[in-house]
Amino acid sequence: MKKKNSETNKECFESIFTESNLTPTHIKSDKGTEFVSKDVQKYFKSKKINYYTTNNPDIKASIVERFQRTLKMKMWRYFTHNNTYRYIDVLQDLIYSYNHSFHSSIKMCPCDVNSNNIMTVWTNLYDRRSKKLSLENPKPNFNVGDYVRITKYKHVFQKGYDSNWSDEIFIISSIIDRSPWIVYTITDLQNEPIIGTFYERELQKITYNPTSQHKIDKIIDTRYSGNRKEVLVKWKGYPDKFNSWILASSLKEI
C-alpha cells in the first residue's frame, strides 16, 4: 500500500475480493483509522461483511508475532556470527531467506503461494483446525456474573516476568457463541460495559470479595470529617472514576 488511508484501503479490499472471486463473511482488524473509516465501513456493509475490532493486539496478532520471532532469530544469528548489530544491510537477505524457507503451517514456502493454490494454503492452515474445534463442540468455561481479570497489553520488549493480568477486576456480562469459538463481553465494577469481546484465553477467573483489602496507587488529597481524617485515594490499576474517600485509619502498610 502506497498510502495508508481509507480510500486506498478500500481499493485494496476491492482488488483482493475481485481477484480471488471470494468475499469473506467476517473481517477482524485493529482500530486503525484506515479500517474504521466511514468509506471502508460502508463498503463492508455493502458486501454484507460482519466487521469487528480487536482490543488486544498481543493475542490477535499471533501470526505477526511468529514472523517477528523468526526474523529476530535470524538477526541474532547474524549478529553473533558477524559480531555486529547492524542489520539494515542484510535485512532484505533475511526476508528472502524467510520467504524461501519451508513453513510447516502452510506446507510450502511463502514464495510459492499464489492465486492458484490459495485454497490449499487455507485448508492447510484452518480446515483441520476448524473441523477439530467443531467436533469438540466447546462449552463456555465462564458464567455470567463471574469475576475476571483481563490480559494486559504487552510491549514487544516488556519483561516476561511482569504481570500479564490486569489489577482491575471485571464481570462477565454475556456469553456469545461465535462458532467454533466462545467469546465474552464484560463490564467493570460500576457496571459500565467494556468495548469489544474477549476470548477465554484473555480472561482469568478469580474469587473476588468486595470487602477485602485493595492496593492503592497514591493518596491524592486529605480532609477531615469531624475528628476523622479521610484520604482520597487512587486504586492501583483502576481508572480515576474509581477514586474514592476512605478513612486514613484504614490504610495499612504492605
Confidence (pLDDT) at 128: 61
Confidence (pLDDT) at 162: 46
The amino acid at 189: L
User: How does strand 170-178 pair with strand 244-247?
Assistant: unpaired
Confidence (pLDDT) at 153: 55
| Phi, psi (degrees; rounded to nearest 5) at 62 | -60, -35
Residue carrying C-alpha cell 483446525: 129
Cell (9 digits) for 8: 486506498
The amino acid at 95: I
Confidence (pLDDT) at 156: 42
Q: What counts of helices (H) and strands (E) characterise the chain?
A: 8, 10
| Helical (H) or strand (E) element with 112 | none
Confidence (pLDDT) at 147: 95
Confidence (pLDDT) at 1: 64
Cell (9 digits) for 184: 465474552
**What residue ranges do the domains of the chain occupy?**
6-53, 60-136, 147-206, 216-250
Residue 173 CA to residue 171 CA, distance in Å, equals 6
Confidence (pLDDT) at 56: 56
Residue 247 CA to residue 243 CA, distance in Å, equals 13
Beta-carbon neighbour count of residue 133 at 10 Å?
14
Q: What is the pLDDT along the chain (254 residues), one digit of tens a residue?
A: 667 777 888 888 899 888 888 888 888 777 777 788 888 899 999 999 988 776 655 555 567 777 888 898 889 888 877 888 899 999 999 999 999 999 988 999 999 998 888 888 888 887 765 555 555 567 889 999 999 998 875 444 444 434 578 889 999 999 998 777 789 999 999 999 988 888 888 898 998 888 788 889 999 999 998 899 999 999 988 999 999 999 999 898 76
Q: pTM here?
A: 0.52
CATH number corresponding to 216-250: 2.40.50
